Amino acid sequence: MKKIYLLLVSTSLLVCAAMAQRQVQSTNTYLNKTKLLGNSSNNYQQKTTATCDTVNTTQADAWTPQVYTVTGGGGYVAGVNQYGDEQKAAYFNLASYTNSTYLTGVAFWFAKANSTNPANLSKTVPVKVYDGDATNGPNNLLGTDNSLTLGSIKTDVSNSDFTIVQFATPISIPASKKIFVSIDISNFTWGSSTKDSLSLVTSEMDEAGPSDNGGGWDFYNGAWSSMEDGWGSSWGLMIFPVVCNSVAPVTFASFNGEKVESNNILSWATATEMNNTGFELQRSINGTEFSTIAFIPTKAENGNSNTNLSYTYGDKASNTSAYYKLKQIDKDGKYSYSKTVFIKADKPTRFELVKVYPNPTRDIAKVSVIAPKASNATLIITDMTGKTVMQQNIQLTMGDNNVTLNTQSLNAGNYIIKLTCAEGCESSIIRFVKQ
């Protein structure tokens, strides 16, 4: 047992006061679950059929957030301190969570992250996941993430944000449903001249024990022990794993598009692929209605890869702006979508009918028109004999235009739309089918 005296310093109360908007309140869940599950901005994709839970929020709602330090300025109980603790871990029993097949991410609430040596802000903070139990502590290492640095955590603390880790490859949860999530602080220094400060927010002393979800454990002097055994008191750590019943078979590292001469070049990269068949590249003029323009097969051997793979496709560009997205398809037919990419067209040089959709149509048809300048124009609809069956005056603005036609009165059959301009313009036509 460590012979140590604890002090709840007044400065820790100031930290909590400064972060009051993030304190646990039973009437307001402080943890943003949507942020944990991710969105297109951080390229963390979850399959729409996946169901996920954020662990430890219910327990932590009852805790009082605190920051404990070692007497005499010796560092932090739940972080770097003078005793050279190497890891701080929290225990989780997931037996009551039905959606606990994979661990996909973790959120940490850090109270302090800094260094007296600015160069040390680049030090990595590994996040490690173990199996084990509440009697013997962590056992086998299941996975490691090295994306965090002391500097990135410092930014989160300054912005009063949780620090989010999203595993590039989700970690399979063992059959026991018992895991530990740790932060590895073994490469940090707490000495007379250099002090690397890193501390998790904890519960108040003895609010949570080592066998509770979030219960704290230390790796010290080559062995694991509960914080209760090591310090004489117990704490819960503000660590929140995200567990899911399924995961996206493909993790997109990026998806981008740019106009290069007469082509729209779409490029994307995957960090991992599991049972992937390939990608449908879909295009839209209005950003709402998409159609598939190409299928790009996976480069992963047998559809599986744990290394970065890159893809590129060139779409011959028209004079209209376009939206693109990827539909990733599993071997079992399930699918998920990427974010949407927008590529703006060059300034048009002539009037042009680009597309009519849906085609075939029933009651309503939408017509995409591009114009080099504002102009009064007319859409003339004729049957296949050349007889005019409908016409509609429209006002065009420079660039992309979308016009709605009511086609209810038309008989089923094939038709032609012709565009004419008030000041005269080169004729443009497009065909469509009325059902």
| pLDDT tens readout for residues 52-103 | 888 998 888 889 888 999 888 899 999 999 999 999 999 999 999 888 888 9
- Strand segments, DSSP code E, in 152-231 are 163-172, 178-184, 196-200, 215-220, 223-226
* pLDDT tens column, 417-434: 998 887 777 667 889 999
Q: What percent of the chain has pLDDT over 70?
A: 87
Q: Rounded distance, CA 16 to CA 241, Å?
A: 22
Provide the CATH number for the domain formed by 352-434 in this structure. 2.60.40.1930
Q: Where are the domains of the chain?
A: 6-244, 250-343, 352-434
Q: How far apart are the first and last CA of the chain?
A: 81
Q: Which has more confidence, 34 or 258? A: 258
* pLDDT tens column, 280-308: 999 988 777 888 999 999 999 888 887 88
The architecture (CATH level 2) of 250-343 comes to: Sandwich (2.60)
Using alpha carbons, select from 124, 130, 167, 164 the residue that is nearest to residue 148. Answer: 124
Predicted confidence at residue 1, as pLDDT, reads: 40
Q: What percent of the chain has pLDDT over 90?
A: 49
Under a CB-based contact definition with an 8 Å cutoff, are residues 355 and 361 in contact? no
List of long-range contacts for 419-423, beta carbons under 8 Å, 24+ apart: 419/351, 419/352, 419/353, 419/369, 419/377, 419/378, 419/379, 419/380, 420/377, 420/378, 420/380, 421/351, 421/375, 421/376, 421/377, 421/378, 422/375, 422/376, 422/377, 422/378, 423/375
Under a CB-based contact definition with an 8 Å cutoff, are residues 181 and 133 in contact? no
Is there a shared CATH topology between the 250-343 domain and the 352-434 domain? yes
Predicted confidence at residue 169, as pLDDT, reads: 74
* pLDDT tens column, 156-175: 889 888 898 888 778 889 99
How large is the average pLDDT for residues 232-249? 87
Residue type, 228: E
What's the pTM? 0.56
Confidence of residue 35 (pLDDT cuts 50, 70, 90): very low
pLDDT at 271 over 60: yes
Under a CB-based contact definition with an 8 Å cutoff, are residues 227 and 68 in contact? no
Q: Which has more confidence, 282 or 6? A: 282
* pLDDT tens column, 115-150: 999 999 999 999 999 999 999 999 999 999 998 999
Using alpha carbons, select from 356, 382, 388, 383 the residue that is nearest to residue 369. Answer: 356
